[in-house]
Amino acid sequence: MTEALVLTHGGAANDAAVADGCQAACAAALDALGRGGSALDAAVAAVVVLEDDERMNAGTGSTLRLDGSIQTDAAVMDARGFGAVAGLEGIKNPVRVARAVYETPHRLIVGRGARELALRVGLPEAELATARAREKHAARMQTLGSGMFAALWADVPQVFWQKAAQAGGACDTVGAVVRAADGSFAAAGSTGGIWCALPGRVGDVPIPGAGIHVGEAGAVVATGVGELIWAELLCARVHEAMAGGVPAQRAVDDAIAAVRARHPEVDVGLLAVDRRGGGAAVTAQMPWARAQR
């Protein structure tokens, strides 16, 4: 037996002032473990709390895409399996749908199929757009709706998207990593995506090795610009280092240092837990929390 350990985060671009939400998520995970739940149960419980916190860009309060829609991604993983959803609309807790996928023969279910699965297993529908999220979307679209950006949107959507992403915007994935007292590991993540995303865009969260990874050496989740995290296979890199004997804190520090050396303009955060402890590499504003018992 070892000590149970949970780390949670509220997104690379979120406000550190909402770290109390991450603390509540840690408490939910420890409570799940205390009731006999698995590491995976605990990771899901933590992310449900974050999805229900309207200050986070996941579940209720998710960021609106360019067309005003909300499409969510989520994933769960442990050493035995993986489940994820992408492009999911109108379901209260996407991470619960990812957990349902984990129990199927499939690994990733998207769009209409993900929504139908959620309804089939009895998960509740919800209006995910809050007044705050709608106000932010309207203000951002007004900023981008004239001059160069308007012309780019009319003629070259991909370039518009890239320029808008570089101009700054939410990258507020939420996530949790868990080590249970029996030494097993799990992770979960959920996101509404980046604010300037085209409909149908999928980030790093539902991609094993990119935004989430779990193996015999530990569990890792990432937050930031999904395309970069995916290209770097960032979580797989951290897990590989931990499998080679590098402590979790050094593994996440080394991975972030390597990313920043190549992309100094991009904020990326990481959480990891291994058999000896946990590590966090965070942005200046990233809310996160740690709890153990």
pLDDT tens digits, 177-202: 999 999 999 999 999 998 777 889 99
pLDDT of the residue at 261: 92
**Of the given ranges (68-82, 113-127, 132-146), which has the lowest mean pLDDT?**
132-146
Question: In terms of pLDDT, which residue wins out, 144 or 9?
Answer: 9
Six token digits for residue 78: 């442990």
* φ, ψ dihedrals at 21, nearest 5°: -65, -35
**Per-range mean pLDDT, top range of 59-68, 169-178, 233-242, 282-291:** 233-242
Exactly one of 60, 173, 223, 283 is catalytic; name it: 173
Q: What is the pTM of this model?
A: 0.92
Q: Check whether 168 has a pLDDT greater than 60.
A: no
What does the alpha-carbon distance between residue 182 and residue 93 come to, in Å, rounded to a whole number?
A: 27
CATH number of the CATH domain containing 218:
3.60.20.30
| Average pLDDT of the residues in 234-253 | 97
- 1: confidence class by pLDDT, cuts 50, 70, 90: low
Q: What is the largest CA-CA distance in the chain?
A: 62
What are the C-alpha distances in Å from 171 to residues 61, 80, 185? 13, 29, 25
Q: Check whether 283 has a pLDDT greater than 60.
A: yes
**Of the given ranges (11-15, 43-47, 101-105, 150-154), which has the lowest mean pLDDT?**
150-154
What are the C-alpha distances in Å from 64 to residues 55, 69, 202? 14, 5, 14
Contacts of 187 (CB under 8 A, 6+ apart): 43, 76, 77, 78, 175, 176, 177, 178, 212, 213, 214, 219, 220, 221
pLDDT of the residue at 220: 98
pLDDT of the residue at 38: 98
Q: Check whether 156 has a pLDDT greater than 80.
A: no
pLDDT of the residue at 265: 78
| Average pLDDT of the residues in 149-158 | 46
| Domain count within the chain | 1
Six token digits for residue 140: 């951002």
Q: Check whether 167 has a pLDDT greater than 80.
A: no
Check if 283 is active-site: no
- 271: confidence class by pLDDT, cuts 50, 70, 90: very high
- 149: confidence class by pLDDT, cuts 50, 70, 90: very low
Residues of the chain above pLDDT 70, percent: 90
pLDDT tens digits, 38-94: 999 999 999 999 999 999 999 999 999 878 899 999 999 999 999 999 999 999 999
| Average pLDDT of the residues in 6-30 | 96
The domain in which residue 278 lies consists of: 5-292
Per the prediction, the chain carries an average pLDDT of 90
- 143: confidence class by pLDDT, cuts 50, 70, 90: low
pLDDT of the residue at 225: 86
pLDDT of the residue at 159: 44
Smallest CA-to-CA distance from 204 within 220, 184, 186 is with 220
